[in-house]
A = this chain, B = another copy of it.
Amino acid sequence: MSHFFKVKTLDDVLSMTRNFDPADTERVDISDAFSRILAQNLTAPGDMPGFRRATMDGFAVNAAATFGASESTPAWLEIQGTVLMGQVPDFELGPGKAVRISTGGMLPKGTDAVVMVEHTQTIDDASVEIYKSVAPLQHVIDANEDFSSGDVVLEAGTFIRPQEAGLAAGLGFTTLPVHRVPKVGIISTGDEIIPIDQEPAPGRIRDINSYALSGFVQEAHAKVIRYGIVKDDPDQLRAACEKALAQTDMVLISGGSSVGTRDYTVEVLSALPDTRILVHGMSVSPGKPTILAKSGTKPVWGLPGQVVSAMVVMKMVVIPFLNRIQGYRQPKPVMRVPAILTRNVASAQGRRDFVRVMLENGPEGMTAKPVLGKSGLIRTMIHADGLLDIGENLEGLEKHTVTQVILL
C-alpha cells in the first residue's frame, strides 16, 4: 500500500503542520514562563506607568519656564525641594521654580518635563541655572504612555522573551496562561541497536539517535520520554507506539533502517486505530525515507536510521511540527546567516538538498566551507556549523555564491 504515496516536497510536508493543534493551556508562575508560548491575549489591568515619571536625573520643571534657555542665557529657577523616590510629592510647583528629581521619580503637580542634571548648575541650595530648554514631556514618561488599561499588550501565540516576562510582571501578572510543554516520545528500533551503557559486539552499535534527537527536543524547550529499544518486530513496535501515543503529544520512531523495518513501520502505523499516513518519502536529501502519520490528533514520525539524515529531518521538518504543538502562531523561523560558498556544490534538480558546512570569518565576510566526509559519519555533524539549503529548482550552487546558511 505504501506505493500509493507520492514523494512529498519539504514545503508540502511543512504545510501539514496545520493538521495538528496546539497543546492545551495551563497557568504557570511567571518565573516558569520564560520560553513558553502565551495561550491567551494579555490585557493591561491598569495604566503603565500609573503616574508621570522622570526618565533622567535632574530637575522637574514647567517646560515653558525653560524656553530660550542656553549656555549663554541660562534660565534661573528657585529650587522648591526634592521628590522622594516612591512618594507622591505633597506639593505643587510654584511659578519660577524647579524640583530635584531622580530617574523614576513622580513629577509633582505643575511640572511637565525634566531638565537633565548635566544641563544645570546649582548656584546654591536654593537656586539652579538651566542651560538647555526642554519641551513638554521631555525626559518624562507620562501616565499610561507605555500601556493604557484595557490594551492588549501581548497576543496569544507570543514566545515569552525576557522583555515579555518583565512587562507581564510590571502589570502584576504573577501567573501566565501558556500552552502546556509538549512531551515527545522516542522509540528506537533495530536489531543492531544496543543501550549506550553496553559494549557493542561487532555488528552492533549504541543508540546514538535517541540521544541526538532528544537534544533537538530539549533545545526547543519540550520534554522527552524515551521508550527504549525495540527489536525489528512489528508486534513490539505496535505495543511501543500505543504506549507512547497514550503518554505523549508526538512520537518519533528512530531507525528502522533496514528495508524490512521501514516497510512494517508503515504497516504498523496504518493499523493503529484512527491513523492515517500523511507522508511516505520526501524529496529531501538527506532525509528521503521519512514517514509521517496522524494518529488520533497526534503526529507520529518514522525517521531515517542514518544518524545525519535523522538530525537534518529533525531540525528542518519535525521541529516545526513541535513548534505548532507548542502553540507558536507562525512556524518559528530557522536562524540563517549569509555566507560566501568556498567551492561549487552539486545537487539534483527536484530535490531539496541540505549540505553541512563550516562557517569561518574571512576578509570578505563569513565563508561557508562544505564539510568533507561520507554522509553517514557523525563527525561531519560535529564539524558542521550550519547547513546549505539548495532548492528543488537548482542543480547546485557555485563557488562565491552568497547563500543563507541555516545554523546548527
Residues of A whose CB lies within 8 Å of any CB of B are 30-31, 34-35, 48-51, 53, 55, 57, 84-89, 102-106, 117, 141, 145-147, 153-154, 160-174, 190-193, 196-216, 218-219, 224, 232, 257-260, 305-307, 311, 314, 335-338, 374-379, 381-382, 384, 407-408
8 smallest CB-CB distances across A and B, nearest first, come from: A162-B215, A166-B212, A102-B258, A86-B192, A169-B211, A170-B208, A86-B191, A106-B203
Assuming the contacts A84-B191, A377-B141, A378-B167, asked whether A49 and B146 have C-beta atoms less than 8 A apart, the reply is: no
CB-defined contacts of A35 to chain B, threshold 8 Å: 218-219
A374 to B141, CA, bound (A): 8
CB-defined contacts of A102 to chain B, threshold 8 Å: 257-260
Q: Find out whether the CB atom of B257 lies under 8 angstroms from the CB atom of A103.
A: yes
Q: Find out whether the CB atom of A34 lies under 8 angstroms from the CB atom of B166.
A: no
Tell me which of B57, B88, B190, B201 contacts A258 (CB under 8 A). Answer: B57
In the complex, how many angstroms separate the beta carbon of A78 from the nearest chain B beta carbon? 20
Extra 17 A-B pairs, beta carbons < 8 Å, given A106-B203, A165-B211: A30-B196, A50-B202, A57-B258, A85-B257, A86-B190, A86-B204, A102-B257, A102-B260, A104-B306, A163-B408, A164-B382, A167-B208, A168-B211, A169-B207, A169-B208, A174-B196, A335-B407
Q: Find out whether the CB atom of A201 lies under 8 angstroms from the CB atom of B162.
A: no
In the complex, how many angstroms separate the beta carbon of A302 from the nearest chain B beta carbon? 14
Tell me which of B163, B198, B211, B314 contacts A378 (CB under 8 A). Answer: B163
A378 to B218, CA, bound (A): 30
